[in-house]
Amino acid sequence: MLFLGASNMNERERFLATLLYEKPDRIPLSPGGGRESTLKRWRAEGLPEGVNPAEAAYRQAGGTLPWPKGGEGFGISDRMNPEFEEKVLEEKDDTLIVQDWKGNICEISKQYDVTYLRYAKDFVTRKWIRCPVETWADWEAMKERYNPDDPIRLPSDAEERGRRLRERTWPITFHVSGPFWIMREWMGFEGLCMAFCDQPDLVRDMVRFWTDFVGRLLEKGLGYVTPDFFHISEDMAYKSFSMISPAMTREFLLPCYRTWGEIIRAHGVPLYGVDSDGYTGELIPIWIEAGIDVHDPLEVAAGNDLPAYHRQFGRAMAYMGGVDKRAIAKGGAAIRAELERLTPVIRGGGYIPGCDHGVPSDVSWPNFVEYVGLLARLTGWL
């Protein structure tokens, strides 16, 4: 594929040009990566130890261009502090009852330990037993864990790092939890969804608090550096529908999204993105209203039709992800057909293709290499 932008763009220029519907020299090659179980399989099938799997796959597919190296970032921390103690509360025959760092009590398989609930090391199924916020009193206590002036919120070398990053050649991101995501962390999925109906004033107070808290963090971080991307995690959709109605999303969440958008735009941040699994077709118009202009990961199994979204919403929304993980696992004709389906979107701009979630362990190393090679050709890397 031929691209029309200036040749030899750096990583930052390429990332921005792609998602802003401009003309990159080539599209960032971002196929996705595997978690622990996937990497274990790949190493047994030929992935060398201690190497970047995406780069290794690209090299095995014949790629010779320099691999993006990135550089230091500038994180703003929205995590609670202090955290809850991580501990095992009860040991059963095949499972553990644990408390995670967020205060949730849940049951997990004995093949994992509590650290798997802190880091996305693998795909871990859990049974939720109790979440930390059930009452107004619980909520008032939870607020104390989110002091925007806590020194942990910014890098210890914020001023010096901000100066270093002014001439960076790679993109940097400010990332936080969205309002639905964080409330689900506090109340649990069922508890939160019931609260929208039974305790709307509590939900409104939580959203107001989170809007203000993150707004303060943004203002602090933006005083030192202007990131290229502000990204929120907001998983709020099932396989076929959003977890709350579009009307509820507009009423409770849209003002928060807009407030954050106004802050970042006032400081010149060019991209505002949202991550949500599940079917998000009925949420995209609301996100566009809020000023959000990038969405990932576009899970195909949930019914997301990226070519249709690309036609419907035009340049109001850009995308990352969108390649069906099931087709990657099948390889051969299946992955060729999947990438052919997405070729008009790749050519139309505003899209960095990649796996539509973490790459699962049913994807073999040879099939991953094949997929990366095909993707490299479509994005200008081969």
Angle at 260 between CA 256 and CA 262, to 5 degrees: 115
Asked if residue 99 and residue 207 are part of one domain, the reply reads no
What is the structure's pLDDT at 115? 81
Domain that holds residue 115: 85-131
What is the structure's pLDDT at 124? 80
Q: Do the domain assignments include residue 2?
A: no
Asked if residue 97 and residue 168 are part of one domain, the reply reads no
Asked if residue 243 and residue 106 are part of one domain, the reply reads no
Rounded Cα distance between 250 and 150, Å, is 31
Q: CB of 378 within 8 A of CB of 346?
A: yes
Asked if residue 241 and residue 220 are part of one domain, the reply reads yes
Q: Do the domain assignments include residue 6?
A: no
Retrieve residue 288's tokens. 């566009």
Asked if residue 43 and residue 98 are part of one domain, the reply reads no
Domain count, the chain: 2
Is the pTM higher than 0.85? The answer reads: yes
Rounded Cα distance between 66 and 112, Å, is 37
* Residues 6+ away with beta carbon under 8 Å from 72: 161, 164, 165
* β-strands 229-233, 173-177 pairing: parallel
Asked if residue 210 and residue 292 are part of one domain, the reply reads yes
What is the structure's pLDDT at 4? 52
Q: What is the pLDDT of residues 167-202, one digit of tens each?
A: 999 999 999 999 999 999 999 999 999 999 999 999
* Residues 6+ away with beta carbon under 8 Å from 152: 77, 79, 81
Tell me which H or E stretch contains 240.
none
Alpha-carbon torsion 118, 122, 123, 125, what sign? negative
Q: Do the domain assignments include residue 3?
A: no
Q: Do the domain assignments include residue 62?
A: yes
Rounded Cα distance between 92 and 55, Å, is 42
Asked if residue 242 and residue 124 are part of one domain, the reply reads no
* β-strands 351-355, 318-323 pairing: parallel
Q: Do the domain assignments include residue 5?
A: no
Helices H, strands E: what count in the chain?
A: 15, 10
pLDDT-flagged residues of the chain (< 70): 1-7
Burial 178-210 (b: 16+ CB within 10 A, else e): bbbbbbbbbbbbebbbebbeebeebbeebbebb
DSSP string, 126-166: EEEEE-S-SSHHHHHHHHTT--TT-GGGS-TTHHHHHHHGG
Q: What is the largest CA-CA distance in the chain?
A: 61
Domain CATH number, residue 195:
3.20.20.210
Asked if residue 145 and residue 108 are part of one domain, the reply reads no
Rounded Cα distance between 196 and 233, Å, is 20
Q: Helix, strand or coil for residue 277? A: coil
Mean pLDDT rounded to a whole number for the chain: 95
Rounded Cα distance between 99 and 115, Å, is 10
Rounded Cα distance between 377 and 382, Å, is 5
Alpha-carbon torsion 273, 276, 281, 285, what sign? negative
What is the structure's pLDDT at 2? 47
Sheet holding 95-99, edge to edge: 87-91, 95-99, 105-109, 126-130
Q: Do the domain assignments include residue 174?
A: yes
What is the structure's pLDDT at 117? 81
